[in-house]
Structure 1
Amino acid sequence: MEKDDTLLPGQRLRARGASGNASGRFEPRARVAHHDGWDLPEEERLLRTEVRLERPRSALSYNRSPDLPFDRSVNPYRGCEHGCIYCFARPSHAYLNLSPGLDFETRLIARPGIGAVLDRELRAKGYEVAPIALGTNTDPYQPIEAEHRVMREVLEVLSAFNHPTAITTKGTLIERDLDILAPMAAQGLVRVGLSITTLDPGLSRRLEPRAPLPARRLAAIRRLTAAGIPVRVMVAPVIPGLTDPELDAILAAAAEAGASAASWIMLRLPLEVSPLFQDWLSEHAPDRAAKVMARVREVHGGRDYDPAWGKRMRGEGQWSTLIDQRFKLALARTGLSQPQPPLRRDLFRPPPRAGEQLALF
C-alpha cells in the first residue's frame, strides 16, 4: 500500500531529533515532497505529537540474547517522544508501517489495559519468576506517561505480586512513582538505571530534544537514592569523537548524586538509525561528522554497526578498549565499581483476586 512519509509543505519542527520522515524498510514505495508550482504562501503548521491507543493482547516479551542481563520485558509504549536521534529502537517503528524518523517521535502508541494482561500472565501456572525489565525498547517515562499513566499501571501490578523489577529511563517522571518504588526497593525488588549521555545542556538538547536536561536527571538520582532506591548511571550511548571525553565527568557527577553503580554502552546505529544520525551530524556537528563516523566504523569492524552478539554493545578494537579502560579507572575513583545485589525472587506471590479465599499461612 502506498503511504506518504514526507513532511507536508509548510510543516515546522520544534524540539525534534530527526529532520526527515523517510519510509521504513518494509514499504514498497516512497514519496518525496515536491512543490506544486503554485506561487501561494503555505500555511505554517507545527508537527505535533499524536497518540493512538492499542489494546494489548500480551504484556511480556521474551528474548534469548546473551548480551542482555534479562530475559523478559514489558513495553508500555511504542515510539518515544524524547526523540533521541541515536535511539537503537527507531527501526522497530517500521514494523508498524511508520517511519523510524519523525514518526517514531511524533506518532506514538500507548497500551492502556496492559496491567490487566500482565496480571493474567503472571498468574499462569507455568510462570517462573525472574526480573522484568521496563524501558528496554522505548522510555516508559516519556512525556506522554503524565497523561496516559500506563507505566504506573504496570508498576501497580508488579508491586502487588512482589515481582523483581529493573527500570531503565532518562525520564524524571519516575519521581511521581516513589510511593510504589520505595517500598519495593526496601524489599529488594527494584532498581533503576538512569541514562546520561552528556553533561552539556546544549548538546543534550540537540541529541535528546524532549528528554530532561542532564542536571535534572542528576537531581532525579538524588531523589531516588534518598528514597532508598538503588540507581545505576548508564553512560549510554558513548558517541566516540563527540561525548566520550565526558565519561569521567559523568561518573563523578552521578557518584556525587548518590548513584551506586555504573555501566556504558557504545553507540549503535542499526538499519535506519545510521542515515538519521549522519543527517543529524551534518546539521549539528558538521566539523566533527567525519571524525565521529570514522571512529564509529573503527569500533564496529569497518561498518556503521556490527549486530554480532558480544560486539554490538561495546564494539571492538583500539577505541573500544581505551574507553573501557577509562571507564574502569573512573569506577575505581568514584566508588561505583560495587556490583548491585541481585533482585529478590523469593517474595513473589500472586495476590488474591476479589472474592478469593485468603491463604491460611
Structure 2
Amino acid sequence: MAALPDLRHARRLVVKVGSALLVEQGKPRTEWLATLAAEIAELRKTSEVIVVSSGAIALGAAKLKLPKGGRGSLADAQAAASVGQVELARLWSDALGHHDITAAQMLVTIGDLEDRRRYLNASATLARLIEAGAIPVVNENDSVATEEIRFGDNDRLAARVAQAAGADAVMLLSDVDGLYDRDPRQPGAELIERVEGVTPEVIAMASEESSSGLGSGGMLAKLQAARIAERAGIALAIVNGTYPSPVSRALDTPVGTLFVPQADASARKAWLGGRLAPSGVVTVDAGCVAALEKGASLLAAGMTEIEGEFARGDLVAIHGPKGERLGQGLVEYTSAECRSILGLKQDQQAQKLGYAPRAAVVHRDHMVHT
C-alpha cells in the first residue's frame, strides 16, 4: 500500500476509534457514529473489517457520575469500564445493526496478546467471527486491567489486533490530520503524508500535547503502534476522525499520514516485536552491540547489567551501554542465572551454573531489533 486511497482495497482492515470521537461530555455521539457505521458497511463490500473502540470508561463515568472522567483512581476506572462497556457494546450493535451487520464484543487484556498461546487463541476467535459474518469490536478489558499490566491506549492495541488478525492495514481515527513535522499549532507546521520507517527522527516529531485529554493515546503512542505494524508488514494510517464520514474524507481528499510497511517478519518475530511488557532488562557492552547489529545472538560475555526478576522464556529488553533500546527477546536463563554468569565467557559459565551452558542468553532466532 503506497498511498491512503489504497486502504480501500485492503483485504482486512482494522479501524480504531478513540474516546474523544465517540463520547462528548459523557454522551455518545450517535449521529457521528451512524456516519462511520455506514462507511464500515461500505468498506465491507471489498474488505473484512475489525473495529477497535475506546469509550467504555468515559461512558461509564458519566453514568456513575465519577469525577475526572472516571480516571481519578484505578478503582474508578475499573468501575467505569464495567458499566460503560455495556453501553459501548449497545452503541456498536445498534449502529452496525442498521446495516444488517452483527457486532461481536471482544475484550482483551495485554496478557491475551503477550502470551503466545493466548495470542493464537485470540487470533482464532477473530478469524471465526469474521468467517461468520460478524464485525469484532475489540477493547481493552479495563475492568480488570491494572496500571502496571495494560496496553494503556488503544492505538497499540489496534496494531496488535491487526497482527493477530493477519490484517493488511490499520486506520487510527485521531483528533488531528496526521503526523506533523512539529506541533501542528506552530506556524509553518507541515503534515507528513508518507513515512518510510519509524526512525528516531520521526519519533522526535511527536507532540505529547496531541492527545485530546479524554483518551489515553497521544501521537507518541500512535508512532509506537506504527512501529509494531510496520514490522509485521502492515500499513498504518493516522487520519482525522472528528468529521462526519471520516473515512471518506481521509481517503478521497486524501488527508492523513500513511506509514508504509518496512518488513514482513515471520509470525513469531512479529509477535515478539509487538510485545509491550518485558519482564526485565539486559544491558550489554559496545562489543556486544556491534555483534548484535551483525545478526549475532546475545552472549553472557557481553552482558554488563541485569535489571528485574525474570524466568527462563520471559521477554527481556536489551539495552546498550548508554541505556539505548536495542531490541527484545526471549531469555534462556533466569535473572539469577544471568547475574551469576554476567560477563563470563562460555568456558567459565559451567562452574557458576552447575550445568553445561546454553548456546546463548538470547538466541538471534528469538530476538527482534528496535
TM-score by structure 2 length? 0.29
Higher helix share: 2
Q: Which has the higher contact order (CA 8 A, sep 6+)?
A: 1
TM-score by structure 1 length? 0.29
